[in-house]
Amino acid sequence: MNAAPSDQLQILDIQRMDFAVATLRNKLAALPEIAELLARTQRMAVVRDLAIAAQTQISDIKRELLRSEADVEQVATRLERDEKRLADGSTSAKELEKLQHEVQTLSARRSELEEVELEIMLRIDSIKERLDELKAEETTLNSAFEEITGRKVRASEEIELEIASLTQERKATASTIDGALLELYEKIRANNNGTGAAAMVDGRCDGCHLAINSVEIGRIKTLASDEVVRCEECRCILVRGAK
């Protein structure tokens, strides 16, 4: 294949722009904000799950508190009844002794149940405090998420503008290059990890960075300047005379 030396040099410009666009796309995909947003999203999911668990736990303990209150009320009712019977003085000495013992027993039982009731209420308060902390963290995470999203959008827009500018420049340059040469470049690039053309610099291919053997260099020197040369190793278009 033959192509004007100027077209071959412009193919190198196309290659540089393609490399630049690929670098920008990698940068776009690896923005630090993406990892930050993922971390915040994962933490938000954990916080929501913990909050739901805390709310469920509070509901369960409240049912436990209702049962405890019912137990206290039942003992208190029996105690009040027995105390009234003691106060009216109508019981026999034997019944009086029995009532006194029962009152002591019920008083002790009520104290125990009230301690249990208090412990349950303290557990509820503790979980409510934890729930408040989780809600505060969720608010903080939401604010951080919005701030990071804003940074990501701005960074993405800047990169997209660079890509758009390079794409437009590439399109303008490509329109001036021999169609067959451009087609060959695109075909090689598609099958060579994005490298379709490279400069020949100091006896090396700037694409695969391997030295060209002396026999091949001698052959290349005999070729016309418009003949398209391919690297024997990576098969990309080897451009002579590049600076």
Position 173 pLDDT exceeds 90: yes
Give residue-wise pLDDT tens across range 179-213. 999 999 999 999 999 999 999 999 999 999 999 99
Residues 217 and 213: their CA atoms lie apart, in Å, by 6
Instruction: Return mean pLDDT, the chain.
Output: 92
Residues 188, 235 contacting (CB under 8 angstroms): yes
- DSSP classification of residue 227: B
Share of the chain above pLDDT 70, in %: 97
Summarised one tens digit per residue, pLDDT across range 80-135 is 887 777 777 666 666 777 877 887 888 888 888 889 899 999 999 999 999 999 99
Which amino acid, 22?
A: A
pLDDT number for residue 122: 94
Whole-angstrom Cα distance, residue 64 to residue 70? 10
**Is a pLDDT exceeding 80 seen at residue 146?**
yes
Q: What residues contact 236, with CB distance under 8 A and at least 6 apart?
A: 188, 192, 195, 196, 197, 198, 205, 207, 208, 230
C-alpha distances in angstroms, 113 versus 69, 133, 209?
8, 30, 84
Phi and psi of 242, rounded to 5°?
-80, 145
**Which residues share a beta bridge with 201?**
204
Mean pLDDT of 58-64: 92
Helix extents (H) in the chain: 5-29, 32-88, 93-174, 179-190, 214-222
Report domain extents, the chain.
Answer: 5-15+178-239, 31-174
pLDDT of residue 91: 67
The pLDDT of residue 105? 85
- Give domain 31-174's CATH number out of 3.40.50.720, 1.10.1200.10, 3.40.50.620, 1.10.287.1700: 1.10.287.1700
pTM, to two decimals: 0.75
